[in-house]
A and B are shown apart, each in its own frame.
Chain A
Amino acid sequence: MSAISSRPPRPRFDVNGWLFVGPALALIATFMVFPVLHSLWMSFQTGLGVRLSFAGFKNIYRLFNDPLFFTALTNTFIFFLVQVPIMLTLALITAALLNSPDIRFRGVLRTAIFLPCVTSLVAYTVLFKSMFVANGLVNTTLIGLGIVDVGIPWMTDPFWCRTMIIIAITWRWTGYNMIFYLAAMQNIDRSVYEAARIDGVPTWARFLHLTVPMLKPVILFTTVTSTIGTLQLFDEVSTITGGGSAGGAAGPGNSALTLSLYIYNLTFKFAPNYGYAATVSYVIVFLVAILSFVQFYVARERKA
């Protein structure tokens, strides 16, 4: 103890320490801090291409009068509010099932459910698209099994187009979230379950009142990351609904136009307006911040 306290006090500015973190800090400042600040500055400018001029709050005014922005916002929220709960519930249930020691081939099943996560976003959406076209595999199978009489209009009806995209994202990301739940479940002390079993608590109640509360921090984590991921949804909607000619809508009636896709269109597909696109991108930043805060607030530890 005396050896430690007799050391001279550490200098405020340690040259060696700063030299070690210097390169990393320089890179973060160049490629992270500067672009973030620059995009904030850009969101107050308007104009086509590089001919930007200061516009004050004009972009924000445009935002509130832009029907396409509200279409994109609504679509993003539909994907977020429908897809995230479905996916996380599915992930939780599969994790609980695959954590049960009674199930055979657990390793194979876990790998099979996790496997979609290693596929490239563009590759799997191209496959989904070819499966869901008017005379694709899905419709042929459904008609062949006698479930429907005529093919489901996956690509021409807004409702079915969104359904198809939700099916695609759920397939791709359920296994990813399941892994978090599995890992957390394996950290739960088995004696808790044994005690509950001796007290006669049925299986479903053990899952609902023991497993779920103990997984709360992980559920919160996956909810926040899935929220951020869904708010930034781009690859899937771009690949599934795009690929046509230069013009065209993002899905039937722009039903798959997400905020990120709208930002892309404003920047690359339309006559480029970087300023307005930056304004729309800050909407995502604010939404992520607000929704994450709400989720942390709802899941906070209540002191009795």
Chain B
Amino acid sequence: MMAYDPNDAGLTRIIMQSAGGWYFDKDGNLAIEGNVALKAALEVIQKIQTANIFRPAAGWADWVGAFTGGEVASVTTGVWITGTVKSQPEQSGNWGIAPIPKLTIEGATHYSNLGGSSWYVLSASAAKDEAADFLNEIYAKDVNFYQKILVDRGAVGSLLAAREGEAYKSNDAFFGGEPIWQTFSDWLSKVPSVNYGTFTNEVDSVVAAHQPELAKGTPVDDVIKAINEQAQTLVQ
């Protein structure tokens, strides 16, 4: 069982991206109708909701409380949740990591992404070259830096070379002594890449608003049609 907030489309995005889909196509155009990955994701969401196999959560704090309080035994989200899971020392050894289930459509994988942050250098910045150089030297090359932020801050970087460092090779007793960072970085390289576009939050709020309809048994195709209509006015 897992905690699930029907007003949040995070899980929908995880499932959708695992099959290489997003709300937008590779060129950043809205792609709701005819989106095989989105449809498959919403079908899974409908199954979860109608089978009532989740602990309803309302917002972040309630959702986190469900697994830190031991009410549910699984959590499906980004790797950054590791720190929150480990905030309960008495649960040490009870946790393990597993890849997400795979959809049965073309291009489906066991790997996806949720959240995280990006670095940008503004082209109008006076210190543009210095900023780019800093990011290049530290974030794109410095393997030791990634070991330090992982150990000190629990921050996981997306630089694949970081896996060669000491910290990334360590086993974690909290997760049954598994080499979790090596596993995560294996999965990282297999996450399908998508174009998030400019309007992800806009479309996401529309998708989230329509998820309760799925619980009532409204056909997925009808829901997708309604999402498409609302999303079009927001994407401009």
Q: CB of A270 within 8 A of chain B?
A: yes
Chain B interface category by residue count: 35 or more
A242→B230 CA distance, assembly (Å): 20
Cβ of B214 to closest chain A Cβ, rounded Å: 11
Q: Which of B149-157, B177-185, B202-210 contacts A (4 or more CB under 8 A)?
A: B202-210
Among residues of A, the one whose C-beta sits closest to the C-beta of B10 is A245
Determine if B201 and A67 form an interchain contact, defined as CB atoms under 8 angstroms apart.
Answer: no
Given contacts A66-B233, A68-B230, A153-B56, contact A247 B212 (CB under 8 A): no
Question: Which residues of B lie under 8 Å from residue A252 when comparing CB positions?
Answer: 6-7, 212
A129→B210 CA distance, assembly (Å): 22
Question: Which residues of B lie under 8 Å from residue A251 when comparing CB positions?
Answer: 7
Among residues of A, the one whose C-beta sits closest to the C-beta of B63 is A244
Determine if B60 and A253 form an interchain contact, defined as CB atoms under 8 angstroms apart.
Answer: no
A248→B208 CA distance, assembly (Å): 5
Scan A225-256; emit 1 where CB is below 8 A from any B CB, else 0.
Answer: 00000000000000001111111111111100
Determine if A253 and B209 form an interchain contact, defined as CB atoms under 8 angstroms apart.
Answer: yes
A1→B62 CA distance, assembly (Å): 76
A67→B234 CA distance, assembly (Å): 9
User: Chain A interface (Cβ within 8 Å of chain B)?
Assistant: 48, 62, 65-68, 129-130, 132-134, 153-158, 241-254, 257, 265, 269-271
Determine if A244 and B202 form an interchain contact, defined as CB atoms under 8 angstroms apart.
Answer: no
Checking A48, A245, A249, A265 against B60 with a beta-carbon cut-off of 8 angstroms, the contacting residue is A245
Q: CB of B200 within 8 A of chain A?
A: yes
A41→B215 CA distance, assembly (Å): 44
A154→B7 CA distance, assembly (Å): 12
A250→B6 CA distance, assembly (Å): 11
5 more contacts with CB within 8 A, not counting A67-B233, A248-B9, are A68-B206, A244-B60, A244-B63, A246-B115, A248-B204
Can you pick out 30 interface pairs between chain A and chain B where the beta carbons lie within 8 Å of each other? Answer: A62-B233, A65-B233, A68-B206, A130-B62, A134-B62, A155-B56, A156-B56, A156-B58, A241-B7, A241-B59, A243-B61, A244-B5, A244-B8, A244-B59, A244-B60, A246-B115, A246-B201, A247-B13, A247-B201, A248-B8, A248-B205, A249-B209, A252-B6, A252-B7, A253-B209, A253-B213, A265-B205, A269-B201, A269-B205, A271-B199
Question: Which residues of A lie under 8 Å from residue B136 when comparing CB positions?
Answer: none
A253→B209 CA distance, assembly (Å): 4
Determine if A156 and B202 form an interchain contact, defined as CB atoms under 8 angstroms apart.
Answer: no
A251→B13 CA distance, assembly (Å): 19
Q: CB of B118 within 8 A of chain A?
A: no
Question: Which residues of B lie under 8 Å from residue A244 when comparing CB positions?
Answer: 5, 7-8, 59-60, 63
Highest count of chain B CB atoms <10 Å: which of A62, A154, A246, A249: A249
Determine if A68 and B8 form an interchain contact, defined as CB atoms under 8 angstroms apart.
Answer: no
Among residues of B, the one whose C-beta sits closest to the C-beta of A245 is B10
Cβ of B142 to closest chain A Cβ, rounded Å: 28
Determine if B204 and A134 form an interchain contact, defined as CB atoms under 8 angstroms apart.
Answer: no
Highest count of chain A CB atoms <10 Å: which of B199, B210, B212: B212
Highest count of chain B CB atoms <10 Å: which of A62, A130, A252, A269: A252
Chain B, range 188-236, C-beta contacts under 8 Å to A? 198-202, 204-213, 215, 229-230, 233-234, 236
Q: CB of B128 within 8 A of chain A?
A: no
Q: Which 10 A-B pairs have the closest CB atoms?
A: A247-B204, A155-B58, A249-B208, A249-B209, A254-B209, A243-B59, A248-B8, A134-B56, A252-B212, A249-B7
A250→B209 CA distance, assembly (Å): 7
Question: Which residues of A lie under 8 Å from residue B212 when comparing CB positions?
Answer: 156-158, 252-253
Cβ of B38 to closest chain A Cβ, rounded Å: 14
Among residues of B, the one whose C-beta sits closest to the C-beta of A239 is B59
Determine if B202 and A270 form an interchain contact, defined as CB atoms under 8 angstroms apart.
Answer: yes
Determine if B201 and A271 form an interchain contact, defined as CB atoms under 8 angstroms apart.
Answer: yes
Question: Which residues of B lie under 8 Å from residue A269 when comparing CB positions?
Answer: 201, 205
